[in-house]
Structure 1
Amino acid sequence: MRRASLRLRLFAVILTPLLAMALIVGFWRVTVAQQTAQELFDRSLLSAALAISRDVAVSEGDVLSLTTRDLIGDAAGGEVFYHATGPGGIYVTGYAYPPTGGEKPRPALNTPHLFQAIYRDEEVRVLQVTERLTIDTMTGDTTVTVWQRLTDRNQLATQLAIRAAALIGVLLATLALVVWFGVGLGLRPLLDLEEAIAVRSPDDLSRIKRPVPIEANGIVRTLNRLLGQVEASIDAHQAFISDAAHQLRNPAAAVQSMAESVRDARSETDRNQRISELIAAARSSARVADQLLSLDRLQHPLRPAAQQSFDLTLLVRQTCADMGPIVLKEDIDFGVSVPDAPVVVQGDPLFVTEAIKNLIDNALKHGGKTLSVIKVALTCHDGIAQITVEDNGKGLIPEQADAAFRRFSQIEPSEGSGLGLAIVSSVAERHGGHLSINRVLRGASLTLSLPAMAT
């Protein structure tokens, strides 16, 4: 599933609350505009009513002044209608009939009264004001009624609301453009970083030094760390391939040389001897190749499918049974000691088997002429299973561990490849254990320790 771009996500995150706020502010602004317009219209009606009342008093009920007429004609909210009565309710001026309907209680003297009513089948807003005036020597209450159509008022209020909404819409659109291009401008360093990485060759794993925003520093640091790990892994694989090629060159050359000597053998006895040597060289070459493959597999994490619980007692017994004929063929005593109870460990039994074989093979190859006994013992104490391979050969001390466990390294020149103990050490690490050299009076003693499971 393809995810939205970071630019779109930032745009949505920034603009969504602004849009919601704009809607709230717009609704508030329209409501306030309508209320304000209503107050202004009512004040306009009041001004018209007072002006008409004044003119009625001045002209004694005859006509309205030009100023008052202009005020009525230019009043906000549309045309203004009026009706004036003198003392005793006598009609004075204006439209003959005022609006009907609505609540029209007799207003208090000099107090404006607002209400809604019906005039010619239309809703109107009505204002009445009563004052005590003298007209033609008659003193009494004069009532002035003025009104406006609500439709005219609503049209003006709607226009104000539309203008407010249009202003908010323009501001919001402007803000959206600013945010869109602003986010793009803010992301420009990341796009530059992408371009810088894209133009790199596969061989360029150097650190990224391009300046980036503070928020992207963590990404660059992580990427640099990953590039460093990849470079280290590639260097390690290249070194391994180089060492492996070097180690395989000698056995391959030996096999080729012996094959040629078999071809050139002068007698049947000589031919048989050289065939035996050729077979031994081929086995040695195959052993080196197997060890190299095992070491390469150990460079990667153990597969979950290969992880299983198994009885180390049975594994040690079976492995020693497979290696027994090889050891006994060299006229060397071979002893195996395992407990009667099962010792359960978690891991890859193939790798553990390979480790045990390499410990026994290491004793055979490096024991020297004095080697006459190889013993394998399995013990378990405090949740730790220990496989100890001991011999009475040349000997090995703990101070030589670094050299002995390093790949393609040997304490003394021998027919070995220098990979056996390196493989055992890698197997121990991958299984949460360790390989150690024990200090003994004679010979060599190595212990492979692995975590044991409770049974």
Structure 2
Amino acid sequence: MSLRLRLFLVILPPLLVVSVLLGLWRFEAAQRTSEELFDRSLLAAALAISRDVAISDGDALSPSARRFISDAGGGEIFYHVTGPGGYYVTGYAYPPRAAETTDADVPSYYLATYRGEEMRVLRMIENRTIDNLTGETVVTVWQRVSDRQAFARELALRAIVLMAGLMAALALVVWFGVQIGLRPLNDLQEAIRQRSPDDLGRIRRPVPKEVAGVVSTLNRLLGQVRDSIEVHQSFISDAAHQLRNPAAALLALAETLPDVRDEKERSARQAELIAAARVSARLANQLLSLERLRYDGTAPATRFDLNELVEDVCSGLAPQVLSREIDFALERAEATLDVEGDPVLLGEALSNLVENALRHGGNGMTRIKVSTGKRGAEAVITVRDDGVGIPLDKADIAFRRFSQLENGEGTGLGLAIVEQVMRRHHGGVKLEEVRTGTCISLRVPLVGNGQA
């Protein structure tokens, strides 16, 4: 449904309801008005008849009274006059009688049936002298109710026709007025439609204040999309640069391998080829992990004991660490550390910290220690080594993608992945200050009974 039609349907129905209520009220008001007017005309006719009867001693009505009676707006007026003693003076025979006794001092109105039709009747009693007889003169005048109702309907119909015309005019005004009011939005739509897919700049076209918030939100969204695209393009550029060297190394080793005849040299070249392939595979896996962390936020959270996850990861890493003749220790917290999240991603974060220590700890490193604990409402994993260490003032560089503090083995993605994993779990990663080596802590919110 278009906005124009929606506004039309929102505005017109209430006005239509109001007009119907006004029409009903006008019909009732017309009925009351006609009743008052016709009752007054009956009273005027009765007074004119009473006057003429008194003047002419009951002989006849004056021409003006006859014209008044015949030209009454509410239809034909019937009359009946009796003089003192109740004898018939003039008018129609057998007037309608009231169902109840009326007050003789004031004119009385009532409804009665006359010749099968409902009538509105006025009965008026006055003291008059007719033919030397003095006494009560009764003047009765009546009129058809149907004539009155027809007159009231005509008044109401005129009012309804007038309101219908006004409603039709208002509907046209609203329909075309909404179109004119929505013209800035149509212009905005056309301006956006003409943009190229690469144009994510701010919308600067002036719009009504009612839609200024929508345009502001759209501008903010365009800015976020632009920033996201720039980050993604930067990531692709960095990834392509990082993949170029391992791919070139693999190609060079693969091209030279068929020409090697010496078995020892051939075995050495094969080992180098396998190592280069592992580096390329790990780099590809880390790139995929980063992309999954950026865009895959639909994985359901699992509740598990962080102690058990750390123990399983350390058991898998132990052969690799011990093969370097490095002491590898695990110190578990005594209490259960219940957390919610993705155990695979948290395990990968811990693996990256240990592997990062192995790659960059230096030849003098002799020990790697992993410990778990609790700080307030958070579970903490700490990985500490006695190797070269990372200066605190270079922590930002260490956690930046594709960044290395010094040239050497590695891709510069390990700590960046760790930071993304902890951000996904509403936790954090921190480079702790120690005298020697490196100490990095991971913080994850506790759930359930584990909270402080």
Same fold (TM over 0.5): yes
- CA 1:255–1:119 in structure 2 vs 1: closer, same or farther (change >3 Å)? same
Corresponding letter in the other structure for 2:238? D
Aligned pairs for 1:127-166 within 5 A: 127-166=122-161
TM-score (norm 1): 0.91
Identity, in percent, stands at 55
- CA 1:384–1:148 in structure 2 vs 1: closer, same or farther (change >3 Å)? closer
Query: 1:379 aligned to 2:373?
Result: yes
Corresponding letter in the other structure for 1:343? L
Query: 1:45 aligned to 2:42?
Result: yes
Match of 1:312 in 2: 306
Query: 1:73 aligned to 2:67?
Result: no
Gap regions ≥5 residues in structure 1: none
Deviation at 1:301, TM superposition (A): 5.6
Match of 1:62 in 2: 59
8 Å contact from structure 2 (residues 96, 112) kept in 1: yes
CA displacement 1:181-213 (0-9 Å, x = unmatched) = 333333333333333333333222222222222
8 Å contact from structure 1 (residues 397, 438) kept in 2: no
Aligned pairs for 1:366-445 within 5 A: 366-445=360-439
- CA 1:333–1:120 in structure 2 vs 1: closer, same or farther (change >3 Å)? closer
8 Å contact from structure 1 (residues 371, 393) kept in 2: yes
Aligned pairs for 1:153-232 within 5 A: 153-232=148-227
Separation in 2, partners of 1:450, 1:45: 96
Corresponding letter in the other structure for 1:197? I
Match of 2:244 in 1: 249
Aligned counterpart for 2:8 among listed residues 2, 11, 16: 11
CA displacement 1:98-138 (0-9 Å, x = unmatched) = 323333747636x3232222322222222222333333444
8 Å contact from structure 2 (residues 96, 121) kept in 1: no
CA displacement 1:136-192 (0-9 Å, x = unmatched) = 444443332222122222222222222222222222332233233333333333333
The number of residues matched between the two structures is 449
- CA 1:449–1:53 in structure 2 vs 1: closer, same or farther (change >3 Å)? closer
Deviation at 1:413, TM superposition (A): 0.7
8 Å contact from structure 1 (residues 435, 446) kept in 2: yes
Match of 1:98 in 2: 94
Query: 1:239 aligned to 2:234?
Result: yes
Separation in 2, partners of 1:106, 1:313: 104
Corresponding letter in the other structure for 1:242? S
Moved more, 425-434 or 381-390: 381-390
Separation in 2, partners of 1:346, 1:229: 29
CA displacement 1:201-242 (0-9 Å, x = unmatched) = 322222222222222222222222122111111111111111
8 Å contact from structure 1 (residues 82, 98) kept in 2: no
Separation in 1, partners of 2:268, 2:79: 139
Separation in 1, partners of 2:149, 2:55: 35
Query: 1:451 aligned to 2:450?
Result: no
Separation in 2, partners of 1:226, 1:133: 96
Separation in 1, partners of 2:175, 2:339: 60
Where 1:298 maps in the other structure, the secondary structure is helix
Match of 2:356 in 1: 362
- CA 1:263–1:75 in structure 2 vs 1: closer, same or farther (change >3 Å)? same
Aligned pairs for 1:260-279 within 5 A: 260-279=255-274
Separation in 2, partners of 1:131, 1:451: 103
Deviation at 1:262, TM superposition (A): 0.8
Match of 1:332 in 2: 326
- CA 1:68–1:381 in structure 2 vs 1: closer, same or farther (change >3 Å)? closer
Separation in 2, partners of 1:123, 1:376: 107
Match of 2:30 in 1: 33
8 Å contact from structure 2 (residues 74, 151) kept in 1: yes
8 Å contact from structure 1 (residues 78, 152) kept in 2: yes
Corresponding letter in the other structure for 2:356? N
Separation in 1, partners of 2:392, 2:417: 18
8 Å contact from structure 1 (residues 373, 391) kept in 2: yes
Separation in 2, partners of 1:372, 1:288: 27
Separation in 2, partners of 1:145, 1:382: 102
Where 2:295 maps in the other structure, the secondary structure is coil
Moved more, 64-73 or 112-121: 112-121
Separation in 2, partners of 1:107, 1:435: 103
Separation in 2, partners of 1:126, 1:451: 92
TM-score (norm 2): 0.92
Deviation at 1:14, TM superposition (A): 2.8
Gap regions ≥5 residues in structure 2: none
8 Å contact from structure 1 (residues 107, 130) kept in 2: no
8 Å contact from structure 2 (residues 352, 414) kept in 1: yes
Deviation at 1:410, TM superposition (A): 0.8
